Amino acid sequence: MTRAIRIGIAVAAVAVAVVLVILRPGADRAVPTPTPAPTSPSAPLPRLVDVGAGSCIPCKMMAPILEELRRDYASVLRVDVFDLRQDRAPATQYGVRVIPTQIFYDGSGRELFRHEGFMSKSDILDKWRELGVTLPARPAAAGGG
């Protein structure tokens, strides 16, 4: 193995270690079991939690998708987005190892599905349908009247 390859491997290993330290501040402790998502007793909607960071390219690509879902499906889905650059606590709270991570919860707060990485709007909607959530054929128009 050439010296350049060994240096490249060492640099990659250090980069991975830095990412893990940033995302898992308590890395020496066991990964906690994700806590159920809190639900509103008056409106137990299914919930999508996205944990990412503003500096993450896939997270930036997902931002408009998540905002569309929040706006267009507000009557049937709750969408919560957490930015780990502003607050690292959600990484531990939701047991996140990679960003972005999307976590799908039912109306009672039980985790149904977890995905790591970019997820398109159509894939998110297809997953909700697969999980048994009825979505309107055409989302409600934003802004009303």
Report pLDDT for 6.
63
Determine how β-strand 78-83 pairs with β-strand 47-52: parallel
Beta strand ranges found along 7-72 (DSSP E): 47-52
Whole-number Å distance between alpha carbons of 36 and 58: 25
Q: What is the pLDDT of residues 101-116, one digit of tens each?
A: 999 999 999 999 999 9
Whole-number Å distance between alpha carbons of 103 and 51: 8
Q: What is the pLDDT of residues 32-50, one digit of tens each?
A: 444 444 444 455 899 999 9
pTM of the shown model: 0.68
Q: Whole-number mean pLDDT of the chain?
A: 80
